[in-house]
């Protein structure tokens, strides 16, 4: 057993059948359980890592009954090892959510259902005969009403008036929320710092991109930030986190980074190997969206350039990220073509900018390009005859952006 059960100061990584291993663990010895089981995809999951090594695991079942029978037994064993103050987070998707909820109600009791957490993300996927599936579900159940839970707050909505946050509140005789007023009828200020609004059950955490530092090339690998949030909500420093289907070990990495102990189980030797390697140097790829909110991405895209943001809004163009030569593109209403967009401000070098823009649209096979000169650029006294000439690039002033497609049509068909 020594090779299959690695012990250290903070936790264990165990190779074996999770049902058998769980039966050997002491009752009520675990504070938090995260379960990311096979999703009943009925196929072999495969993925190449950065070294072009193929990792696979099988997710094939005889039928629904076999799958649900296994899940039920797993939940029973997890219920046994979980402390009365503990909680279980069960990760699933559209294939099995409805089955899993019924099984969790049976084993943990519907009275102990806490949340159906929706993890949303954005990914490119092929067209199909259904809407794009851009979320997974995490069922949150406690073992009792004495479960641990930490209050986590997120920022107010951008539509919230900040001034209202500081105004005191009271209840009228009908129990409705009203502004609290002093004897003179003036609204009383709250006077204390507010933390935001309590965390919702819809979590916008990006899926791991192919170049993320923490990605190890394991199929269906989840982001560490997702597990860090779960661990922060339902456990305390020094608690033990259990993942009975640990895969690449993301839950264990998050537990170690969060100062928790961990127990990870998997029947796959490659999974155990990857997990042990990750735990030697636990890494997390911090998401800009998770740290700052999706609304803040506009500043990441546009910087402090309000003019650029306004132009894209007016012409309904799509911004391009992290590309100094191309600011965005416009889907043309009069054809199936796409026009690249470049905005020049007073910091732009005209020769370098337009040459880079020309190469960028050529690389993407955009038939046309539009260079928009902002007022600050025009004020530099650079006249039109000084602009480099390209047969497929139109120059317009910022004041003309509302007519961008008319101008482009005239440019394409001068007669």
Q: What pLDDT score does 381 carry?
A: 46
CA distance 94 to 75: 19
Kindly report, residue by residue over 169-192, the tens digit of the pLDDT. Answer: 788 889 898 878 888 877 776 555
Token digits for 213? 């530092």
5-155+197-289 maps to which CATH number?
Answer: 3.40.50.150
Kindly report, residue by residue over 301-335, the tens digit of the pLDDT. Answer: 445 456 777 888 888 888 887 788 998 899 998 88
pTM value surpassing 0.75 = no
E strands along 210-354, which residues?
A: 240-243, 261-266, 318-319, 328-331, 338-344
- What are the residue ranges of CATH 3.40.1350 in the chain? 303-412
Residue of 192 and 100 predicted with greater confidence: 100
Residue of 373 and 31 predicted with greater confidence: 31
Supply φ then ψ for residue 99, to 5 degrees. -70, -45
Contact between 108 and 131 (Cβ < 8 Å): no
Residue 121, pLDDT above cutoff 60:
yes
Contact between 33 and 242 (Cβ < 8 Å): yes
Q: What pLDDT score does 9 carry?
A: 61
Q: What pLDDT score does 293 carry?
A: 64
Contact between 16 and 65 (Cβ < 8 Å): no
Residue 54, pLDDT above cutoff 80:
no
- What are the residue ranges of CATH 3.40.50.150 in the chain? 5-155+197-289
Share of the chain above pLDDT 70, in %: 84
| Fold category of 303-412 in CATH | Trna Endonuclease; Chain: A, domain 1 (3.40.1350)
């Amino acid at each position: 057993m020594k090779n299959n059960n690695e012990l250290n100061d903070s936790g264990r990584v165990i190779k074996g059948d999770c049902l058998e291993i769980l039966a050997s663990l002491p009752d009520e010895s675990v504070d938090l359980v995260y379960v990311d089981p096979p999703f009943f995809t009925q196929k072999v999951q495969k993925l190449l890592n950065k070294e072009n090594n193929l990792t696979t695991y099988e997710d094939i079942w005889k039928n629904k009954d076999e799958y649900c029978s296994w899940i039920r037994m797993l939940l029973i064993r997890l219920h046994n090892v979980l402390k009365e103050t503990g909680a279980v987070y069960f990760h699933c998707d559209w294939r099995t959510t409805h089955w899993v909820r019924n099984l969790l109600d049976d084993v943990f009791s519907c009275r102990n259902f806490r949340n159906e957490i929706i993890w949303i993300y954005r990914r490119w996927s092929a067209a199909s005969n259904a809407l794009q599936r851009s979320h997974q579900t995490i069922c949150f159940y406690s073992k009792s009403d004495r479960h641990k839970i930490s209050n986590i707050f997120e920022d107010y909505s951008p539509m919230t008036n900040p001034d209202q946050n500081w105004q005191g509140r009271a209840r009228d005789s009908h129990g409705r929320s009203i502004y609290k007023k002093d004897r003179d009828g003036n609204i009383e200020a709250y006077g204390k710092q507010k933390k935001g609004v309590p965390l919702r059950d819809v979590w916008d955490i990006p899926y791991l991109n192919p170049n993320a530092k923490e990605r190890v090339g394991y199929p269906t690998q989840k982001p560490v930030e997702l597990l860090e949030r779960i661990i922060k909500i339902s456990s305390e420093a020094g608690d033990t986190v259990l993942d009975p289907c640990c895969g690449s070990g993301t839950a264990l990495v998050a537990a170690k980074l969060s100062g928790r102990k961990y127990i990870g189980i998997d029947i796959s030797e490659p999974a155990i190997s990857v997990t042990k390697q990750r735990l030697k140097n636990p890494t997390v790829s911090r998401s800009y969206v998770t740290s700052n909110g999706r609304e803040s991405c506009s500043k990441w895209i546009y910087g402090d350039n309000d003019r650029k943001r306004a132009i894209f809004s007016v012409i309904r163009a799509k911004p391009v990220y992290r590309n100094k030569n191309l600011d965005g593109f416009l889907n043309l209403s009069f054809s199936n073509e796409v026009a690249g967009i470049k905005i020049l401000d007073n910091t732009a070098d005209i020769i370098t900018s337009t040459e880079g823009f020309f190469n960028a649209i050529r690389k993407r096979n955009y038939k046309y390009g539009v260079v928009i000169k902002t007022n600050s650029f025009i004020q530099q006294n650079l006249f039109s005859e000084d602009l480099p000439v390209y047969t497929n690039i139109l120059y317009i002033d910022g004041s003309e952006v509302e007519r961008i497609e008319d101008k482009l049509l005239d440019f394409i068909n001068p007669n």
